[in-house]
Structure 1
Amino acid sequence: MARNTMKMILNNFDSDDELQLITIATMEEERLNRERCSRRRSGSIEGHAIIYHNRVQGHERLYRDYFSETAIYPTHLFKRRFRMNRSLFLYILSTVKAYDSYFVQKTDVVGIIGLSSLQKMTAAIRMLAYGVAADSMDDYVRIGESTAIESLKHFAKAVVAMFFER
């Protein structure tokens, strides 16, 4: 389409200088269009639903159930569900947070608070302890599949780096 337009314009001009300017301008416009098309973000995988979790609600539920002074679930249930006692979990969490800033809760550019370190580590621990799929973290922990996988990767690297004896 742009080439046909360019031919029509070129037929209307006699001067070589004007032809050169129009040719250069047209080529530049085509280059910019190609560049714009290549920069478009594709976002998530086509066909996948985008689910926005209430991150704060997930953190509050997790904290209230297992980590508050008056936790809903007693110590023996914490140990059964996490395969370790609470003090060990919190020690590992503080060590992992000190090693990798991925586990530190952040706020994004528009002020939306991110996932808490408890949510990220709980997802990683549950996947390791029970061998559950990453997408099973959605309901309780309020963390998406890709973030659960990312949390597991960061967790594994941090644990190996901090606790592996050389």
Structure 2
Amino acid sequence: MTSINVQPGEGRRYRMIDGDHVAKAAVHDTAGAFEVFEVIAPAAPMAPPHVSPWTGVLFLLEGRVSVMVDATSYEVEPGGLVVIPAGTPATFGVVGDTARFLAITSGDGAGRFFADFASTVPLDRPVEDAMEAILSVTQRHGVALAGAATP
């Protein structure tokens, strides 16, 4: 494993429905793998809960977010952290104008999911109109929308 140094503003940017996800690092070594993303999220309606095959850690840097994890709500302020276990329904919503947080995910699947989602799902259409594309991407990566039927 070699060292990684990412400067502010650097990283691959994936435009998603819930904000921009900027890939900062993907680490693979004998102890396992994890990925680090900076997420810049605008105020928007909370997305439906989804279930990911990776564990996620949300560490809030700026703003405020409300995070739902398996029907429990957490109000998170800067410096706060929420762990979302793999296989658990979760979502978040920004309280106020914008929020910025680190998302650290176990394994190496989240980056591939974000890349596929950003290149497949049109962001200039209402979510309802893009649902077929959304379900196609989520199915390819083992992510499920809680309560959604698969195509």
TM-score by length of 2: 0.25
* Greater relative contact order, per chain length (Cα 8 Å cut-off, separation 6+): 2
Q: Per residue, is there more strand in 1 or in 2?
A: 2
TM-score of the pair, normalised by structure 1 = 0.24
